[in-house]
Amino acid sequence: MCGIVGFSNCHFENKQKLIKLMTDSISHRGPDSEGFFVDDKVAFGHRRLSIIDIEGGIQPFYDETNRYILIYNGESYNFKELRDDLKKLGYSFTTNSDTEVILKLYIEFKEDAFLKINGMFALAIYDKKEQKIILARDRHGVKPLYYAIINENLIFSSEIKAILKHPEYKKELEYNALNEYFSFQNIFSDLTFYKDIKKLEHGCYLIFDLNKKLFDITQYWDFNFNSSSWQYNEEETIEILKDTFSNAVKRQMVSDVSIGSYLSGGIDSGSITAIAASNIDRLSTFTCGFDLSEVSGLELDFDERRYAELISAKFYTKHHEIVLNSKDLEWCIDDVMYYLDEPILGMSYPNYYVSELASKYVKVVFSGAGGDELFGGYPWRYYHTTNNGLGEDSYIKSYYDYWQRLVPDVDKEKLFTKEIYDKMDKDWPFKAFKNVFKNYKGNLETEEDYINKSLYFEAKTFLQGLFYLDDKLNMSHGVESRVPFMDNDLVELAQKIPAKYKIKNLSNVIRLDENETAKSKKYYIQSHDGKNILRKALSKLLPKEVVELKKQGFSAPDESWMRDSRKEYIENILGNSDLEKIFNMDYFKNKFDEHLNHKQNNRLLLWSLVSINSFFINERKN
């Protein structure tokens, strides 16, 4: 795992100093080594976390003719097979690294090469002869890549903070992204909080012509949940899924350094641990627990260490735990937001702490991300889609209304100051939401069609947000996170499995509020539904009580903490005069009062307040 940085137009002084400055800003992504390439057209920088072929994978990597130059962040789990195929075509290799394979795969197949890689990657290639830069991300979007076109020149990096170091970029807040975030607690579009800095979306490549100063983006792969060709019964499906999952975990175990696994106590991380532990002597596992002395209600079950310990004992792992209390948020939130670059999704600070724990023992760690999104782990979210006959426009509007999980559009004028609100495109959140489906290929006729469209939405929005969190918070401690559920073969299989095998009550889904505490666990207790085919396929790997448990993941009991020991901390944020330039703080104060008085659980909005406060604190520091 690594970090990459680059820009075009090197006709100015101190270009070597600039590329080093930008690369140093993401040194946490690659503490093992650094490398640079600079000519009169292009500058590339690379920070390396050595995982495969520690001595031979130095970057930037050049082909034998020096026509092509590659910087690459990620892992190709099928690189040995790809290398064998390339050898048959006459290619020779001087290293044992996947980096050399990726470059020669591109030389042979050009942009078609990206479809052949089973892995996670963000890369840049400089083709000197054609005078172009190629940027590309893996099909599922596991590895991040940002870019900006400034004064007809390209600037790019694994993280936003490096682009901010470039003197031609003038920092400015992107108001539509701010509006979008406070609708969804996520940014579904390619925008970021910084004007003109965009995300290269999953399954896409960008080609920048250095002579014409033009660029074009092509989507080479997209999610496609379609079970119309599936011909296997449930028992046959279970066996196919079990074998495919096992192969996915084993495939991702390629490494020249130690590997561990996060272990939250649920079936996703537990099953990964089961497979990995059978192939690694004394696998290290890591979990996060919580001090529950100030907690009440359903949050008393948020500490799931006992289930993680049960799995650890079964597979004889070397188990490590960290226990967080209500004050741990305050001590890390500015650092968390620095590494994230911008607010995104929910309470992520436990992931930061457990990654720090893992970094003391391993360089590579498995994550269970993707299981819920691929196999129907959130049935209560799909009830809006199980009413046949809604039609495309009604479906979009109904689902959009549901996903305004922070602030509905009707309240935006109350949330933002008039000056800020007037700078926003009022319809932008709906446009961004609708645009998620622009390339959707499925029909809307049956209940399964509606659920498959919802799974497509989850994969392209909240799963992408989880990947940004997973990558950045692990890389903040120099740890590479791998996601076996995003193996190419496993994803292709998951998309073909009928929804009726994933969710048994397609037309009778229990309704829950996204703000509701422990909603995953509550739903599973009430319905015993969600990820059914996955539970059956993995049931023999894990203890019965784990298979039947609906995990919380590393979710902290923030609803209770915000009413108790964290109350003063939030009150201090509410008095931050800097925020008054953006927000009508009375809106937050009223929502906090609702929360304190148990009138409404507003933990998601309050977390976003904490996040945006730290975002602006870091901006002021810089």
- DSSP string over 239-285: HHHHHHHHHHHHHTT--SS-EEEE--SSHHHHHHHHHHHTTSTT-EE
Q: Which of 69-78, 223-232, 254-263, 314-323 has the lowest mean pLDDT?
A: 254-263
Domain regions of the chain by residue span = 2-219, 234-376+465-554, 566-622
* Strand bridging mode 480-482 / 364-366: parallel
CA end-to-end span of the chain, whole Å?
27
Burial class (CB in 10 A: 0-12, 13-18, 19+), 311: buried
CATH class of 2-219: alpha beta
Among positive and negative, which fits the CA dihedral 305, 310, 311, 312? positive
- pLDDT confidence band for 524 (50 / 70 / 90): very low
- pLDDT value at residue 382: 80
For this structure, is 2 an active site residue? yes
Q: Give the number of other CB atoms < 10 A from CB of residue 127.
A: 17
Q: Whole-number mean pLDDT of the chain? A: 89
**DSSP reduced 3-state for 607:** helix
Pick the CATH number of 234-376+465-554 from 3.40.630.30, 3.30.360.10, 3.40.50.300, 3.40.50.620: 3.40.50.620
208-238 in b/e burial notation, b at 16+ Cβ within 10 A? Answer: bebeeeebeeeeeebbebbbeeeeeeeeebb
Q: Which of 117-126, 133-142, 226-235 has the lowest mean pLDDT?
A: 226-235
| Assigned token pair, 323 | 């226990």
- pLDDT score of 50 more than 80: no
- pLDDT confidence band for 230 (50 / 70 / 90): very high
98 annotated to bind ligand: yes
- pLDDT score of 274 more than 90: yes
- pLDDT value at residue 506: 63
- pLDDT score of 421 more than 80: yes
- pLDDT score of 310 more than 80: yes
For the chain, give percent helix, strand, coil, nearest 5.
45, 15, 40
| Assigned token pair, 564 | 């108790």
Instruction: List helix spans (H) across 410-551.
Output: 412-415, 418-422, 428-435, 447-460, 462-475, 488-496, 499-502, 519-527, 532-538, 544-547
Among positive and negative, which fits the CA dihedral 353, 354, 359, 363? negative
Q: Give the number of other CB atoms < 10 A from CB of residue 378.
A: 20
Please state the rounded mean pLDDT for residues 453-467.
Answer: 95
Please state the rounded mean pLDDT for residues 330-355.
Answer: 92
* Digit-coded pLDDT (tens) for 357-406: 999 999 999 999 999 999 999 888 887 666 555 677 788 888 898 899 89
Residue with more model confidence, 186 or 563 = 186
- pLDDT confidence band for 307 (50 / 70 / 90): confident
**Distance between CA atoms of 118 and 82, rounded to whole angstroms?**
10
**Distance between CA atoms of 592 and 590, rounded to whole angstroms?**
5
- pLDDT value at residue 105: 98
- pLDDT score of 303 more than 90: no
Please state the rounded mean pLDDT for residues 339-355.
Answer: 91
* Digit-coded pLDDT (tens) for 484-523: 999 999 999 999 999 999 998 766 655 555 555 444 444 4
| Contact present, 497 and 369 (Cβ < 8 Å) | no
Of 148, 144, 200, the closest CA to residue 171 belongs to: 148
Annotated catalytic residue within 2, 10, 204, 288: 2
Q: Give the number of other CB atoms < 10 A from CB of residue 180.
A: 25
- pLDDT value at residue 507: 60
| Assigned token pair, 395 | 């479906």
pTM of the model: 0.93
- pLDDT value at residue 513: 53
Residue with more model confidence, 104 or 511 = 104
Bin 468: left if φ > 0, else alpha if -120 < ψ < 50, else beta: alpha
Bin 155: left if φ > 0, else alpha if -120 < ψ < 50, else beta: beta
User: Which residue has 């590339």 as its token pair?
Assistant: 44
* CB within 8 Å of 255: residues ≥ 6 apart: 51, 52, 363, 364
- pLDDT confidence band for 443 (50 / 70 / 90): confident
Please state the rounded mean pLDDT for residues 536-540.
Answer: 89
**Distance between CA atoms of 460 and 64, rounded to whole angstroms?**
38
Please state the rounded mean pLDDT for residues 295-323.
Answer: 79
- pLDDT score of 166 more than 80: yes
| Contact present, 222 and 327 (Cβ < 8 Å) | no
